[in-house]
Amino acid sequence: MPFRLLVPFGLLCVLLPLHHGAPGPDGTAPDPAHYRERVKAMFYHAYDSYLENAFPYDELRPLTCDGHDTWGSFSLTLIDALDTLLILGNVSEFQRVVEVLQDNVDFDIDVNASVFETNIRDPSFMEGSFIRLHTLVVGGLLSAHLLSKKAGVEVEAGWPCSGPLLRMAEEAARKLLPAFQTPTGMPYGTVNLLHGVNPGETPVTCTAGIGTFIVEFATLSSLTGDPVFEEVARVALMRLWESRSDIGLVGNHIDVLTGKWVAQDAGIGAGVDSYFEYLVKGAILLQDKKLMAMFLEYNKAIRNYTHFDDWYLWVQMYKGTVSMPVFQSLEAYWPGLQSLIGDIDNAMRTFLNYYTVWKQFGGLPEFYNIPQGYTVEKREGYPLRPELIESAMYLYRATGDPTLLELGRDAVESIEKISKVECGFATIKDLRDHKLDNRMESFFLAETVKYLYLLFDPTNFIHNNGSTFDAVITPYGECILGAGGYIFNTEAHPIDPAALHCCRRLKEEQWEVEDLMREFYSLKRNRSRFQKKTMSSGPWEPPAGPEPPSSPENHDQAREKSAKQKIPLLSCPSQPFTSKLALLGQVFLDSS
């Protein structure tokens, strides 16, 4: 008998009016300015509580007003909150924290970063500390390094190709490289930061723990000039791709020594999620068509085998039969990812399904039984995760649908009402009775609050459409930064894609940029000429067709001639959010 998804009637009743951007309970749409200030107040209540009660420990325990180390004693909440400070406009605190981190963080410690020390407390579906240490520490330091100049930090000569935060990120990343020394190139799930991989270490690693490196490691390779980081990340991605089943799916855990799947449940949630996320974001960041093609093939298989009535279930990776008809809160990133590939209609339908669950409980339970329309036993909690808010932010940028602001409003109201305590915000242990747990995970400041603030702040520099930018001089020439198009890593640390082209200048790249710049100015002159003709000669007439392409010989001659001429700095026009960031950090029209 084929599986049929039964959605409770009450959920359908909630779902239907949401498509039309129904107003809030008082009949009015949420006021972005009001909620922006509410979110800022939430951040400082949590951040100040951490500084006063928990620093230098990793995280705050809000019920007992003290701190504890969870990931290795790196003051991780401080690293995680750093770029959020700048997004909220607090440059002075950003500058102070940069100095604190430089003076206090040390990676030469005898600590195991283990994928099996989970933060969703489930032995079958794990998001591990190894991957979180990478995305949080390396990603957080890289993001802060690239934002330092905007924050008024006095940067050293050669920035962004050098700097203390960049050196810290490189040091942390090198501590992780021994994990990649396996026959398959897929990394171990655990590495000791002082001694490397321990003898007898288990070779079983979750899929996300293998496929969530390309954003940070490619950025690091581009800034430092050392290709090893990007190389190991790409090998790991390819090995996963080659390990997919005949029906195009990947499982949840794999043996990195043999390449054989240990957990064969396929889905988009915990243990797999950021692998798919990094294929898309890596493709955008690196302008890599192969990575995007890989994701689009996965997307077809996911829709064929796991997609039911705009929900996504868990299935057996070889047969496609349903193994778990549940929605996990970690899956709520998916509509945002769909928006990045332009699949807005499907993204909104899935988002609205997830939003009904939020409205039912005032948060997303870790597991939700879709046919029964209720929580799963021992998975009733909500640790203030950001994924649904993240999707709302992306979709609001794409559509402007006020329903997405309503989710932001509901999130602020729910978190403040249920989770706020004297010393910060506490994890909700059970959404049914609102019992709390004595933990405030660092991602609350890094992701949840950040995405909420950006949802309500349409003019934030993160949303720059290319109309403004900064020109900086590097040892490799002039570079354009801050023009927008930021790529968030899986911990919501923004990476400026233009920076990847600031610290290298291959001849081929220079030629491509010069060609594109000449094309840009040619189009600009043509527009100016036709505008003048319109003013003097009556109605506008379309321009003649494009000139035939030049021969390779003429093209080479043009390159030689252009090399003798000084190319003026590109003046970036106002662009839509989809502006293309091209080589060497320049911004060009989508048609370029």
396-412 burial: b if 16+ Cβ within 10 Å, else e = bbbeebbbbbbbbbbbb
Number of C-alpha atoms within 13 angstroms, CB side, residue 582? 20
Contact at 8 Å (CB) between 332 and 350? no
Peptide bond into 56 cis (omega under 30): yes
DSSP string, 511-538: HHHHHHHHHHHHHHHHHHHHHHHHHHHS
Residue with tokens 């320049």: 586
DSSP string, 131-152: HHHIIIIIHHHHHHHHHTTTTT
Q: How far apart are CA 447 and CA 84, in angstroms?
A: 8
DSSP string, 208-274: HHHH--HHHHHHHHHHH--THHHHHHHHHHHHHHHT--TTS---SEEETTT--EEE-EE-SSTTTHH
Peptide bond into 160 cis (omega under 30): yes
Contact at 8 Å (CB) between 44 and 421? no
Closest CA to 347 of 305, 292, 392: 392
| Separation of CA 2 from chain center | 36
| Separation of CA 111 from chain center | 27
Q: Amino acid letter at 345?
A: D
Q: Specify the 3-state DSSP secondary structure of 314.
A: strand
Q: How far apart are CA 296 and CA 519, in angstroms?
A: 31
Contact at 8 Å (CB) between 272 and 252? yes
Contact at 8 Å (CB) between 327 and 311? yes
Q: How far apart are CA 481 and CA 471, in angstroms?
A: 6
366 among known catalytic residues: yes
273 among known catalytic residues: yes
Q: Specify the 3-state DSSP secondary structure of 121.
A: coil
Contact at 8 Å (CB) between 452 and 389? yes
Of the residues 366, 390, 491, 496, which is catalytic? 366
Of the residues 387, 457, 491, 514, which is catalytic? 387
Residues with Cβ < 8 Å from 483, sequence gap 6 or more?
464, 466, 468, 469, 498, 572, 579, 581, 585, 587
Residues with Cβ < 8 Å from 211, sequence gap 6 or more?
236, 237, 240, 274, 275, 278, 279
Strand pairing partners for 581?
587
512 among known catalytic residues: no
Of the residues 59, 273, 410, 457, which is catalytic? 273
Of the residues 117, 201, 478, 519, which is catalytic? 117
- Which are the catalytic amino acids? 117, 273, 366, 387
